Structure 1
Amino acid sequence: MPLQRVRFAEAVPEVFRASLQDIRREQEVPAEFPPEVTAAALQAAQNARLPELDRTDLEFVTIDPPDSMDLDQALYIERSGDGFTVYYAIADVAAFVQAGDPIDAEARRRGETLYAPDKRTPLHPPELSEGAASLLPDQVRPAVLWTITVDATGEMTGVTCERALVKSRAKLNYAGVQKDLDAGTASESLQLLREVGKLREQRELERGGVNLPIPDQEIVTSNHGWGLEFRAPLPVEGWNAQISLLTGMAAAQLMTKGKIGILRTLPESHDDLRRKLGNTAKALGIVWADEATYAEFIHGLDPKVPAHAAMLAACTVLFRGAGYTAFDGQVPERSGHAAMKAEYAHVTAPLRRLVDRWAGEICVALSAGVDVPAWVRESMDEIPKIMDDADRRAHAYERSIVSMVEAGLVADQVGAEFDGVITDVDDKENTRGIVALTKFAIEGRVTGAALPLGQQVRVKLVEADIAKRTVAFELVR
């Protein structure tokens, strides 16, 4: 599921740094890589298994946040008749890592890269993830190359997946690409990214799919203390995400046709979730028409509007319950992803997510019509559990950080009263529940007699503890 990212506009204040260290200890977030893993990574960087196919002629570029060095994906798009050909190069981690080696063993222990405002805890040693395996500019790299054809309406018409050597021409960032697109100075490939991205967004809306444009939460300081601002994603971030989603759907198509794979699955959401999110919308002053679906409601939100940005962050609960389903033979009955309204697989972030290495290997084999490697078949049943555990750890880490920040935003206002809406109750007497404040994008525990679910209330802040990461209220009226 999408994660809420919190960052600080300036240096992380000392009180938050101490709490972040506590969170890492509590969540048992890995520290540095063991010496044997670093040594293995240095050795692997010098001994990559390179493919014969050379596609360094394709003018790939990467598009990421400016400070990113773990570059998983490089993109090149060209027009093909009335449609398009999308070339998507994915870092080939398997060219450096072998099943059972120290890097593989440590990656299985970690599962995925973890993010915090003050540091990133990578899945693979930086010698690989930010060096030899990363699709850095002007470097020839081994990659899993996806070639996907798309028609004039944005529908996928064909896919191949193979190993190839590639070379990125430039390390671009979202703001720079958006500026060039708006000015009309972007390359033809990037202009086609906009065109294909918009077509794919339309296809997503028509099938009822949801792709949350999660805003970053940035903590800013002023004379009045700390404040929370949301940074709305740029349009190009959505178009770029659509290429990743397209590739994940292409991977799922290969897997289901070949009757072997690891799918990303999500069951349909339940009525209680719709009710809770509806109450959150009410707290934020957003109208959610009774007849509007999740997709219609979310597509109508503007992440540049602070209340809408907060609503999008709350809607990440729609992805709770997502998991991984491995199969070798019959395709499972529940193989779809409810938010995507399609079958889907994770294949585009192997530097940061373990499962993508397995899924990529499966797709390369299926596309070539050869047997899936034995090491993949022998271990693929373990991957869903490893990833489920890693996702739980990532979500707990994220939630702890968000709770810490929420406590900090109101830490100096204990005793003050606020307007809010009761978004959930968790006991039969309706004496304990959750309140969403109207003024801040904050939810907290609330106690009181007969909490009125879904109704406007007045509450008093009784606790805001950064170290404990708790915010608590009492019902006033």
Structure 2
Amino acid sequence: MQRVLSAPDLDFDAVRTELGVSEDYGAAAQAEADDAVDRFAADREDRTDLPFVTIDPPTSMDLDQAVHIVGDADGFVVRYAIADVAALVEPEGALDQESRRRGTTIYFPDRSVPLHPRSLSEGAGSLLPGQVRPCVLWTIRVATDGTVGDVDVRRALMRSVAKLDYAGVSRDAAAGRMHPSIEALPAFGELRHRRALERGAVELDLPDQEVMRADGGWTLRLAPHTPADMWNSQLSLLTGMCAGTIMADAGIGLLRTMPRAGSDAVAGLVASAAALGVAWPDGATPGQFLAGLPRDAPTTLALMSAGAGLMRGADHLALDGQTEVPPAEKMTHAAIGGLYAHVTAPLRRLGDRFATEVCLAVTSGKPVPNWVIRALPTLPRVLRSAASLASAADRASIDLAEATLLAGREGETFDAVVLHAATQRRPAQVFLTELAVIAQCDGDPEQGRRVSVELQVADPAARKVLFAPV
């Protein structure tokens, strides 16, 4: 049974202070957000006739994306409305500069610290139900074999008719009562997922480790991905791949890249599978092998963790429209299996706003705005720094919860699965099924095995947990 922590035991304000994360945007940037108006109001197509819906975690208010999808004899017509943040942020103004300093929304278990002030990110810019909102509307035709046909990008007005969540959409799909606007989503998502595996994509279906409120306190849990998570991710991946192609063809924009996994990383995964007695199907790519693993087997968690070695080196690549375009292998994202860009979460990620402006300009035959061209070379460094900070915030929050949850239980034994065996560079890592804890372990336990471990250290002040094999 999980132990629930009392609320004062977890001080996320201390973590925010340590990392220098604050909701103080400065008076000028806050005022711009509070008074934001649509700079392109006269240039929009009215598509409030389309009954868009959003799919997000239940408590989310910064709603970037809304979807309307229909299937027909020729495949699918995907309409994906993305919050038009560029229309609400004055280029190179105080709010623009503040968002460039931040780079991304930072998430903590008790609250987020948004990229933009809440008056914009959860108000004027958010695709809240029942509200007419400015958006960038992607209309993408997908054939019955999953290939992409016509792509259209334009500014529009939209209105969401429902705020849905992943668990609810999954339940509705299982019960055969999907919202009419997304009845075709499961078939679309499964089709695009199959296409992704065929082109060599790798998707790690690891559950998310979450610190969450429970019974007036805090607890840890693993939140497995629902079918709707995967279907919805295919919408963003489709749009991002279309955006990546548009920008690569034009030689200007901001791509998301990842090098192909080295032979040593693939060999390591193959060796791990062999050591755990898990057969590798003939001819299967690493992505197909991982996707075919049974979800409830302890070896699957270990192999998915080992699969992370295939996905190193993710970065951003700015194309300036002047210098020679790099070779294709330098522009692609190996884990996705093609060209890719972030354009679907501009309320939460800085780069999406600039990449979207490039796509709008290129597809309409207009020049890319100068304020975008000036910013492009600076964005990769900003986004790398922001990603590092977001990762540190997530890790520190979970480490604090794990150490507090286990404090006072030194000497107790727990059932665990070994995620990683020890190497010269790092100790072994184990997962406690009872408490959803992932922590270091002394000794050399064997990867993928169920073991009993004894808690040696649980220090909330140092945010440290350490086990040893029994």
TM range (shorter): 0.7 to 0.9
| Identity value in percent | 43
Listed as ranges, the gaps of 5+ residues in structure 2 are none
Change (3 A) 1:11 1:244: farther
Kindly indicate whether the alpha-carbon contact (under 8 Å) linking 1:232 and 1:303 is maintained by their aligned counterparts in 2: no
> Are positions 1:465 and 2:463 aligned together?
no
2:341 aligned partner: 345
Q: Comparing 331-340 with 318-327, which one deviates more in the overlay?
A: 318-327
> Are positions 1:357 and 2:353 aligned together?
yes
Q: For 1:111, which of 103, 108, 112 is the aligned residue?
A: 103
SS in 2 for 1:327: strand
> Are positions 1:251 and 2:227 aligned together?
no
C-alpha displacement of 1:182: 2.6
Q: For 2:254, which of 255, 262, 267 is the aligned residue?
A: 262
Separation in structure 1 between the aligned mates of residue 271 and residue 400 of structure 2, nearest angstrom: 23
- Return the letter of the residue paired with 2:40: R
Kindly indicate whether the alpha-carbon contact (under 8 Å) linking 1:347 and 1:356 is maintained by their aligned counterparts in 2: yes
Kindly indicate whether the alpha-carbon contact (under 8 Å) linking 2:91 and 2:371 is maintained by their aligned counterparts in 1: yes
- Return the letter of the residue paired with 1:37: A
Q: For 1:426, which of 416, 424, 427 is the aligned residue?
A: 424
- Return the letter of the residue paired with 1:192: A
Kindly indicate whether the alpha-carbon contact (under 8 Å) linking 1:277 and 1:423 is maintained by their aligned counterparts in 2: no
Q: For 1:123-202, what aligned pairs fall within 5 Å after superposition?
A: 123-202=115-194
> Are positions 1:63 and 2:63 aligned together?
no
Kindly indicate whether the alpha-carbon contact (under 8 Å) linking 2:421 and 2:446 is maintained by their aligned counterparts in 1: yes
Kindly indicate whether the alpha-carbon contact (under 8 Å) linking 2:432 and 2:438 is maintained by their aligned counterparts in 1: no
Change (3 A) 1:169 1:229: same
Kindly indicate whether the alpha-carbon contact (under 8 Å) linking 1:407 and 1:469 is maintained by their aligned counterparts in 2: yes
Change (3 A) 1:256 1:446: same
Change (3 A) 1:218 1:381: closer
Separation in structure 2 between the aligned mates of residue 282 and residue 412 of structure 1, nearest angstrom: 39
How many residues are aligned here? 458
C-alpha displacement of 1:103: 1.1
SS in 1 for 2:45: coil
Q: Deviations over 1:170-189 (max 9, x none)?
A: 22222333333333332443
> Are positions 1:403 and 2:399 aligned together?
yes
C-alpha displacement of 1:112: 0.6
- Return the letter of the residue paired with 2:392: A
- Return the letter of the residue paired with 1:425: T
Q: For 1:412, which of 408, 415, 425 is the aligned residue?
A: 408
- Return the letter of the residue paired with 1:71: L
Separation in structure 2 between the aligned mates of residue 305 and residue 66 of structure 1, nearest angstrom: 29
Q: For 2:40, which of 25, 49, 59 is the aligned residue?
A: 49
Listed as ranges, the gaps of 5+ residues in structure 1 are 1-7
Q: Deviations over 1:360-381 (max 9, x none)?
A: 0000011111111111111100
Change (3 A) 1:464 1:269: farther
SS in 1 for 2:261: coil
1:326 aligned partner: 318
- Return the letter of the residue paired with 1:254: I
2:67 aligned partner: 75
Q: Comparing 436-445 with 143-152, which one deviates more in the overlay?
A: 436-445
Separation in structure 2 between the aligned mates of residue 455 and residue 210 of structure 1, nearest angstrom: 20
Separation in structure 2 between the aligned mates of residue 62 and residue 420 of structure 1, nearest angstrom: 37
1:207 aligned partner: 199
C-alpha displacement of 1:201: 0.9
> Are positions 1:93 and 2:85 aligned together?
yes
Separation in structure 1 between the aligned mates of residue 62 and residue 30 of structure 2, nearest angstrom: 16
Q: Comparing 150-159 with 47-56, which one deviates more in the overlay?
A: 47-56
Q: Deviations over 1:417-470 (max 9, x none)?
A: 56664623235xxxx62232565654444555xx47759687643211122111
SS in 2 for 1:230: strand
Q: Comparing 170-179 with 392-401, which one deviates more in the overlay?
A: 170-179
Q: Deviations over 1:103-140 (max 9, x none)?
A: 11111111011111111110011111111111112222
Kindly indicate whether the alpha-carbon contact (under 8 Å) linking 2:23 and 2:114 is maintained by their aligned counterparts in 1: no
SS in 2 for 1:355: helix
- Return the letter of the residue paired with 1:336: T
Q: For 1:436, which of 410, 430, 436 is the aligned residue?
A: 430
Q: Deviations over 1:202-250 (max 9, x none)?
A: 1012112123344333458999x98743222221221111011000000
C-alpha displacement of 1:278: 7.8
- Return the letter of the residue paired with 1:52: R
C-alpha displacement of 1:12: 6.1
Kindly indicate whether the alpha-carbon contact (under 8 Å) linking 1:276 and 1:423 is maintained by their aligned counterparts in 2: no
Separation in structure 1 between the aligned mates of residue 44 and residue 212 of structure 2, nearest angstrom: 50
C-alpha displacement of 1:165: 1.4
Change (3 A) 1:262 1:219: closer
Separation in structure 2 between the aligned mates of residue 388 and residue 228 of structure 1, nearest angstrom: 28
Change (3 A) 1:465 1:85: same
Separation in structure 2 between the aligned mates of residue 72 and residue 342 of structure 1, nearest angstrom: 24
SS in 1 for 2:79: strand
Kindly indicate whether the alpha-carbon contact (under 8 Å) linking 2:430 and 2:441 is maintained by their aligned counterparts in 1: no
Kindly indicate whether the alpha-carbon contact (under 8 Å) linking 1:111 and 1:354 is maintained by their aligned counterparts in 2: yes
